[in-house]
Structure 1
């Protein structure tokens, strides 16, 4: 399908891309629901042997029916009903370690797949991601008490196979011109909502459908990715209209602009209207800047720094959602199940909040379109959305310090808004500020750095288990940390203001 045909069918292509992100993109972030299922299946329950008597007493006092309790006289072992087992810190620690490793490895894999995407194009990248996703899905299907360690590679592969769908589908926004940021937001919204797939697995489990059958179905459903891979998307890339203009012959007096890296936009260089090349000392520069010149920019470094801090905040709350609910709800299993479902029901609203991110970004672009400074015109629209993300992180970090059941609804709403704005802006900012050919690489490097920094979350998990007040102290530390993220939008605002003043003097 050539560029003109893709333009004609851009709404269908965008809808299909959204469907892929919705079903297969961010399943890692539904970990709270999957962890609930694994706990009830007794995965790693042997780590709680020291707590068996307490668990048995809790089961005896519960109104729920106990389906399988047997005491053997010889060994005096207690066999607990999986459906009523409360778990223990040792089991929680094992599950949080699994989430930590998976979230870090998916970040590392994004850098590798970003390089593959740059070298071999869209089709090869998507085929590799499909193999990875299917492998992870099947591993999670075969997890059992006998082979619980399959959770580690399974969750990691499932997450690593989903992220390239978002990266490769982001280029669909290049078919929409001025509304490109809104399309990126829409795709990120589908990526957000995909966490609800794990909630569907949990609901199906509670309705009598086994986890194995759910993942078999998900594996078969993933074959839909082949439709877009071979029919809708090109083998290589979809370039935006400006980049496309450098690859065609221009006749007559048509004015054409070319996509410039931000470091050239800052210098205010002149664009040759005939060819789209950069005119400087009568020499036309048509080649892209080097990847390293983009990576070394303060603009990119600050953005990576911003993502690392805020992604750590998001990963921590997702990884500890089940223990957090158990603390707030006094280990009431029915209430924990209820609020786990509520959390992911609300997170399905990520579609609207992610789309809102793109709308806010596009609105800001229109507001600053008349700026005299090219730097302010291109960079200032990102300042407000970036500030909103940092503010949501601070608000979320403050709310979790108040262990009140009625606040859980508000916490879930803020979490959904925060997650949507975070990843929508992470992608939209790079898409707007840097050459589209480098998007996969720059996004991969950014996520890799976030993943390496994300290993800090396991230290936080360990800290939170050391003494009674440790969870509260950990959340206070994270509140102080996310305040630092305001440096990114403040620094960009300062640069834009200085550039505008220089032109008005």
Structure 2
């Protein structure tokens, strides 16, 4: 479906609806650090503790024992895994059944999660908190990723729309923060069951929007000759896309591809990103940028791309980074209770983290855009590695509240930078034809390994007696090895690739 087949006002309403539901439903599970003390205060999983034992930790908003803490953290671990593992499934569902089906699946999952939490006290045949949180985690990406195709509702503004959706996703972690603030004022009136009764509005809103407002098919960018009365911007973009298509075969020869008859674009996610990258792709075809990797595997089938070091190394790097990011989100309070030697100081730092996490994603978007647009991919990967190492070092400093605050502030900016850089890497290296498959695979594989959070958490509680430094150092070392290898590989390959391009252009 083309954008001009839908009235402008309706397309504006569609984008607005998507931003609203992403703001409240795309990724609230990542606000777990704010929700966890509320669950503790409501005695969730407290029945697993023997309060007369020496395992007793504290009263109030701190888990009473190791088992309670581990079970609460397992809620987030499962949610984080499902959020990422579902990426490939969602991409396939979007390609086959369209965005409306994806959105309705997401709404159904959120509705189920809300009902489970509402009746959690009477559910005995399964763990309602684990299942409810998992269902909420699964519903978020279904509604979020199905919105990507709206970037082509206004092709000339595709980058802005993607930024709005991404910013709404990052800000959605504030849902539990707002709930925590309200709960501390009215604890008796705002039990978890009451909160989810109010939250029912979100899945119901998505259902109504999908039925009456949202498109049944994904938007595509049309050829210029099909656009009635195009604006200058629309005409320029459509002509650029046509030139990019006409140059695709030349682009394959220029990039020395050995595969013939590359498949046509079928990825809905790739099509959503395509308009945002068309200018860069045209520039790379006409005036290649030094040390660029844009197009290095464009045109190859995904079956070949999966067998390259490009895929293997980004998958390993994404896996270790995602494990570190989500492990920190789940355990920031307990880590800094040990590092600062005080629950009061840790609670203050946790408040900073709760507020900074949603703000970091929004405020860092312009800076992230400038870095990705102005730096080569090898330099972007180096910056990612350097910042990740800095976070790891800061996360091992004891008795310094300032170091903790700096670490938190860098972390909340690094997290959206990491996720945006991975999608940017996949688009530039692997191309738009296979983007959904490759990006979904990276997220899925990385998500599966996030289950390692649970044994790492248990090691910290038992073997290391709540000391997070040994595991933080181990994860830092693995990051240095994998990330360093990846940065060197991208740098060496980009130089070799550009040397071949220059030689090829001289022969023409």
CA distance in 1, matches of 2:78, 2:215: 33
Matched, 1:162 2:149: no
The aligned counterpart of 1:143 is: 120
Q: 1:118, 1:438 within 8 Å by CA — same for their partners in 2? A: no
Question: Which of 388, 391, 405 is the aligned partner of 2:386?
Answer: 391
- Do the aligned partners of residues 122 and 441 (structure 1) sit closer, same or farther apart at CA in structure 2, a change above 3 Å counting? farther
Q: 2:84, 2:443 within 8 Å by CA — same for their partners in 1? A: yes
The aligned counterpart of 2:149 is: 171
User: What secondary structure sits across from 2:364 in the alignment?
Assistant: helix
The aligned counterpart of 1:198 is: 176
Give the greater-gyration-radius structure (CA): 1
- Do the aligned partners of residues 503 and 55 (structure 1) sit closer, same or farther apart at CA in structure 2, a change above 3 Å counting? closer
The aligned counterpart of 1:23 is: 24
CA distance in 1, matches of 2:379, 2:142: 28
Q: CA deviation at 1:22?
A: 1.9
The aligned counterpart of 1:360 is: 371
Q: CA deviation at 1:104?
A: 2.1
TM-score normalised by the chain length of structure 2: 0.77
Q: CA deviation at 1:298?
A: 3.9
The aligned counterpart of 1:3 is: 3
The aligned counterpart of 2:506 is: none
Q: CA deviation at 1:393?
A: 1.5
Instruction: Identify which range, 157-166 or 322-331, moves more after superposition.
Output: 322-331
CA distance in 2, matches of 1:260, 1:154: 49
Instruction: Identify which range, 183-192 or 30-39, moves more after superposition.
Output: 183-192
Structure 2 matches for 1:56-455, cutoff 5 A? 83=60, 87-144=64-121, 149-174=127-152, 180-181=158-159, 183-208=161-186, 209-226=190-207, 229-230=210-211, 233-239=214-220, 241=221, 244-245=222-223, 256-258=242-244, 265=251, 267-268=253-254, 287-288=264-265, 290-330=301-341, 332=343, 335-349=345-359, 350-364=361-375, 380=376, 382-403=377-398, 404-434=400-430, 436=432, 438-455=434-451
Structure 1 unaligned segments of length 5 or more: list them: 60-82, 271-277, 365-379
- Do the aligned partners of residues 470 and 337 (structure 1) sit closer, same or farther apart at CA in structure 2, a change above 3 Å counting? closer
CA distance in 2, matches of 1:326, 1:262: 56
Q: 1:136, 1:158 within 8 Å by CA — same for their partners in 2? A: yes
The aligned counterpart of 1:376 is: none
CA distance in 2, matches of 1:473, 1:356: 33
Q: 2:100, 2:210 within 8 Å by CA — same for their partners in 1? A: yes
Indicate the RMSD between aligned Cα atoms, in angstroms: 3.6
Q: CA deviation at 1:37?
A: 1.0
Q: 2:55, 2:65 within 8 Å by CA — same for their partners in 1? A: no
Q: CA deviation at 1:189?
A: 2.5
* 1:170-206, Cα deviation, whole Å (9 max, x unpaired): 2333456577556434432321221111111211211
- Do the aligned partners of residues 338 and 269 (structure 1) sit closer, same or farther apart at CA in structure 2, a change above 3 Å counting? closer
Q: CA deviation at 1:388?
A: 2.5
Q: 1:126, 1:164 within 8 Å by CA — same for their partners in 2? A: yes
- Do the aligned partners of residues 26 and 335 (structure 1) sit closer, same or farther apart at CA in structure 2, a change above 3 Å counting? same
The aligned counterpart of 1:471 is: 468
Q: CA deviation at 1:336?
A: 4.4
CA distance in 1, matches of 2:80, 2:358: 20
Q: CA deviation at 1:123?
A: 1.1
- Do the aligned partners of residues 473 and 8 (structure 1) sit closer, same or farther apart at CA in structure 2, a change above 3 Å counting? same
- Do the aligned partners of residues 295 and 31 (structure 1) sit closer, same or farther apart at CA in structure 2, a change above 3 Å counting? same
TM-score normalised by the chain length of structure 1: 0.77
The aligned counterpart of 1:377 is: none
Q: CA deviation at 1:292?
A: 2.7
Q: CA deviation at 1:474?
A: 0.4
- Do the aligned partners of residues 146 and 224 (structure 1) sit closer, same or farther apart at CA in structure 2, a change above 3 Å counting? closer
